[in-house]
Structure 1
Amino acid sequence: MEKEVVRNDSIEAGVDVDVGGGGWKKRYGAVAFVRTACVLTSVTAVCVMTTAEQASTLSLYGLTLPLYSKWTFADSFVYLAAVSAAVAVYSLLHLLIIASRILQKSPPVTRRHGWLLFAGDQIFAYATISAGSAASGVTSLNRTGIRHSALPNFCNPLYIFCGRVAISIGFVFLAAFFLAISVILDVIEKKNESCITIRTMATNSLVLLTVAVFIVAAAAEEFEVGGELGWRNPPAGRNEVYAQWASGKRFRVGDSLRFKYGSNDSVEAVDKVGYYHCNSSSPISVYTDGDTVVVLGQPGPAYFASGDEGHCQNGQRLLVEVMGDRRMHIPPAPSPSSAVVFFPTALQQLASFLLCNAIYRIL
């Protein structure tokens, strides 16, 4: 009893006390791993985003339009890069603090230190979710930097730019996931607080982790067209091979198709007439690089065919039905502060109560 009184008095005074024997070392290891993951994912997001730049052309109704996109054209992309850099610096500073405490053999049980970390983790976690959601809403950039312009199949001619942006957004959401885990670790570290305090912390922690899990689960998929066959002139008697390949899959906005083909072949994005009649006189886009990734940017049918008319007539053509966006709905031209996620209050209270009890049973 006397030992417990001394322990609580030390916590109230904000003094570091080794109360867990060697247990705090394991928590340090877990925290260090999560912080390192935050640093790596955030730095990767910044590096990939800041190299997103590409010039190309778009063939539209027989006209060739020049296109040029750069990440600085969109405020949402700049916001994402800034938040990612801030998360990297914040996590790196915490890693240095952890290293210093390990060398001093000083476990982090002070009230002040714990609450600062908990608040910081929540702020940066929500900021990364906001940045990733805002960046996901940027659907088009043209050469003048005007956002959300009505350019069809924008990511087809600018697939390198769109691919890098998508990768950067994916790493930002991954950083948010690790920050949510860090908040859970903060809750465990604050096990000496009252149950009401832990319930409040647990509610926020569970909401953060739930948002991060749903975002990761909703990540876009990449489909390799034809599977092992790839994109080539179908063998004799298999002129329906690509129709059969597409029939067993669900395609959504944001997913991508990867076409792998030889140097004597090509991929053309065509309209309905070009698909059914194998007419490649006015394709929407033409690709000849041998490894083409096409992002499905809008719902509805998407038509593709080989640039070789004979190959197309033999069945080297593809029709995919694209469903709506798998992500949470984001209105056009979102601002960084507009990405808000709502959760039922009753569900939060139930989840916080269960998580509070689980933490006390474990600890």
Structure 2
Amino acid sequence: MAALATLAASLLLLLLLADVCGAAMYKVGELDAWAPPPSSKPDVYVRWGKSRPFKLGDALFFLYPPSQDDAVQVTAKAFAACDVADPLLTLDDGNSVFNLTAPGRVYFTSSQPGHCRKGQKLSVDVPTADGKFLAPSADDQAALKALSALPPAAAPTEALPSLSDSDDDSADAPRVAGAGSVLLAAATALSVLVFL
């Protein structure tokens, strides 16, 4: 019981430090769901990945119906070729969080047939602690070339992917929250369990 209490206290301390450091959680694409983009916006994930000031400690939140999709972390080569046969990591619970814990470029796509080739792919650059970006490798260059092959977005002609049937205007708003506050709720729940 004492070990569990120590664990809870340590977790709470880490969460408070994360909140002080300003870590953020970003909902990938700021769409209703991680899914193949509509043909009118094939570069939605490319644009989104370039438009955020990611830093160490931030987190990516992938939201999708678990029976219909997933998010896989892949190498630069696999990303460029849309080869999902051997992912580095598979996230498949529908509410997946990936913590950005190392500097460099990370690559994500879906392992569902055809989704990667339809533009459901994301590349994120994470700077070092002092804000500098690592130089791209030859494999990174090939992956970036694959991203640039996506045509630029045209005027929307179809709706973006959605998890619900509602037309809530708030879905267009940025979905950024302090990771510390999200994790603090988890720590609070764990603390309650410890004291029960």
Q: TM (normalized to structure 2)?
A: 0.58
How many residues are matched? 127
C-alpha distance in structure 2 between counterparts of 1:248 and 1:295, whole Å = 18
C-alpha distance in structure 1 between counterparts of 2:94 and 2:106, whole Å = 20
C-alpha distance in structure 2 between counterparts of 1:266 and 1:274, whole Å = 16
Q: 1:168 to 1:292 in 2, by over 3 A?
A: farther
State whether residues 32 and 63 of structure 2, in contact with CA within 8 Å, keep that contact through their aligned partners in structure 1. Answer: no
Counterpart mapping for 1:50-69 below 5 A: 50=7
Aligned residue for 1:276?
80
| Bigger proportion of residues as strand | 2
- Show structure 1 runs of 5+ residues with no match: 1-45, 52-79, 82-164, 175-214, 328-363
User: Which of 14, 32, 46 is residue 169 of structure 1 equivalent to?
Assistant: 14
What letter matches 1:231 in structure 2?
W
Pair 1:298 & 2:102 matched: yes
What letter matches 2:7 in structure 1?
T
State whether residues 270 and 304 of structure 1, in contact with CA within 8 Å, keep that contact through their aligned partners in structure 2. Answer: yes
State whether residues 268 and 286 of structure 1, in contact with CA within 8 Å, keep that contact through their aligned partners in structure 2. Answer: yes
Counterpart mapping for 1:51-90 below 5 A: 81=10
What letter matches 2:112 in structure 1?
D
Higher-Rg member (1/2): 1
The CA deviation at 1:292 is: 0.2
Aligned residue for 2:43?
240
Secondary structure in 2 matching 1:234: coil
C-alpha distance in structure 2 between counterparts of 1:243 and 1:312, whole Å = 12
User: Which of 111, 133, 137 is residue 307 of structure 1 equivalent to?
Assistant: 111
Q: 1:240 to 1:233 in 2, by over 3 A?
A: same
What letter matches 2:117 in structure 1?
Q
C-alpha distance in structure 1 between counterparts of 2:30 and 2:13, whole Å = 27
| Bigger proportion of residues as helix | 1
C-alpha distance in structure 1 between counterparts of 2:25 and 2:128, whole Å = 16
The CA deviation at 1:326 is: 6.8
The CA deviation at 1:225 is: 0.3
What letter matches 2:121 in structure 1?
R
What letter matches 2:77 in structure 1?
V
What letter matches 1:251 in structure 2?
F
* Higher relative contact order structure (alpha carbons within 8 Å, sequence separation ≥ 6): 2
Aligned residue for 2:28?
225
What are the Cα deviations for residues 124-143 of structure 1, in whole angstroms up to 9, with x where unaligned?
A: xxxxxxxxxxxxxxxxxxxx
C-alpha distance in structure 2 between counterparts of 1:326 and 1:224, whole Å = 24
What are the Cα deviations for residues 247-267 of structure 1, in whole angstroms up to 9, with x where unaligned?
A: 111111111100001121001
Pair 1:289 & 2:88 matched: no
What letter matches 1:248 in structure 2?
S
Q: Calculate percent identity across the aligned residue pairs.
A: 30
State whether residues 170 and 219 of structure 1, in contact with CA within 8 Å, keep that contact through their aligned partners in structure 2. Answer: no
State whether residues 252 and 326 of structure 1, in contact with CA within 8 Å, keep that contact through their aligned partners in structure 2. Answer: no
State whether residues 223 and 257 of structure 1, in contact with CA within 8 Å, keep that contact through their aligned partners in structure 2. Answer: yes
The CA deviation at 1:239 is: 1.3
C-alpha distance in structure 2 between counterparts of 1:266 and 1:305, whole Å = 8
Secondary structure in 2 matching 1:311: coil
Structure 1 consecutive aligned stretches of length 4 or more whose deviation exceeds 4 Å: none
Aligned residue for 2:60?
257
Quote the RMSD (CA, aligned, Å).
Answer: 2.4
What letter matches 1:324 in structure 2?
T
C-alpha distance in structure 2 between counterparts of 1:254 and 1:276, whole Å = 26
The CA deviation at 1:168 is: 4.2
Q: TM (normalized to structure 1)?
A: 0.33
Aligned residue for 2:125?
321
